[in-house]
Amino acid sequence: MISVIDAKKDQFFVSIYKNGTEIFPVSDTTPEKIAAFLKENASAGKIFALGPSAPQFSQILNRIEPNFLVKVPKFLPPTTDALLEIAAELKKNGESPLNDYDGPVYIRASEAELSLAK
């Protein structure tokens, strides 16, 4: 399974899992590098792409390597109301939906940070 989000600039934030184990850590990378990795490390069969950019990524991946069988499940992303309901249910059951330190993990520097570094 490939988890993918468009990182712009012809790059994607990607992680790859096989049988529940991460085999490609979260990276800011190109579809070409992912195709090369999959060619060497993925067994034959379907590749499931998930995430908001999965349809776009799967089309690019199929252009690079037509022999891949990339599937994108059809489902709607969760709404804010659905996510709030999940959080409320967790809280009701005494579980913490998020810890204070939970939040985004930045894989690469922002445009502002890159400009300041120059």
| Confidence band, pLDDT 50/70/90 cuts, at residue 101 | low
Q: Which residues contact 30 (CB under 8 A, 6 or more apart)?
A: 10, 11, 12
Report pLDDT digits (tens) over 85-97.
888 888 888 887 6
CB atoms within 10 A of CB 5: 16
Report pLDDT digits (tens) over 41-52.
866 567 889 888
| Sign (positive or negative) of CA dihedral 15, 43, 40, 63 | negative
